[in-house]
Amino acid sequence: MSSNDRLAELERKVRYLTDRQEILDCIVRNSRGNDRFDAELVASSYHADGTHEIGRSAISGQKYGEHANHAHGAMCEQNLHHVTMHSVQIEGDVAHAESYVIGLFLNKGTQTSKMLSGRYIDRLEKRDGEWRIVIRRATVEVILEGTAAMLNTPAFRERGYLKGGRDKSDLSYVRPLGLEGGERW
């Protein structure tokens, strides 16, 4: 193999790895925006014509963050979306991704919680050099409910664990991060 061929192969591999990471970053950005109630961050993961299907509803990706904030705020005190297994097929500037997700929801009153597990089935496109979602279809495949009583025990509360915020007061937005501030249980 000539050095030009090796260089071309290396460039192809770097482009694939860069695209793959940018796609995963987009998907994770969406989940982070949902958990921090950052509708702007959620919207930044969709192209202007992007659509998010949830149940029988299809919602504009640009409006999905507001929808999710309202739905999550009405049903729970805290929520965390964990993106786990992720696969993607990239063909030029179009990609099809499947990402497993575990959603954890602390119900109102903090006595019980739910776990929903499913997948994000996404079509993403790279436009103007940026990968964003064009179509998201979300599945729900497992739901578990259980107690969250441990959060309310004196032994837990005495430890002063940090509590995540649902806005830009959350510690993940603090720069530079220090050891002061933060809401505690």
* The pLDDT of residue 26: 98
Q: How many domains does the chain have?
A: 1
pLDDT at 82 over 90: yes
Band (pLDDT 50/70/90 cuts) for residue 77 is very high
In a domain, 169, yes or no: no
In a domain, 178, yes or no: no
Averaged pLDDT for residues 65-89: 97
Band (pLDDT 50/70/90 cuts) for residue 61 is very high
In a domain, 181, yes or no: no
In a domain, 167, yes or no: no
pLDDT at 13 over 90: yes
CA distance 14 to 8: 10
* The pLDDT of residue 156: 95
Domain boundaries, position 28: 3-148
pLDDT at 115 over 90: yes
CA distance 57 to 61: 12
pLDDT at 56 over 90: yes
pLDDT at 87 over 90: yes
Band (pLDDT 50/70/90 cuts) for residue 93 is very high
Calculate what percentage of the chain has a pLDDT beyond 70.
100
In a domain, 63, yes or no: yes
In a domain, 180, yes or no: no
* The pLDDT of residue 1: 86
Mean per-residue pLDDT over the chain, rounded:
97
pLDDT tens, residue by residue, 125-168: 999 999 999 999 999 999 999 999 999 999 999 999 999 999 99
In a domain, 154, yes or no: no
Averaged pLDDT for residues 19-40: 98
In a domain, 143, yes or no: yes
Provide the CATH number for the domain around residue 90.
3.10.450.50
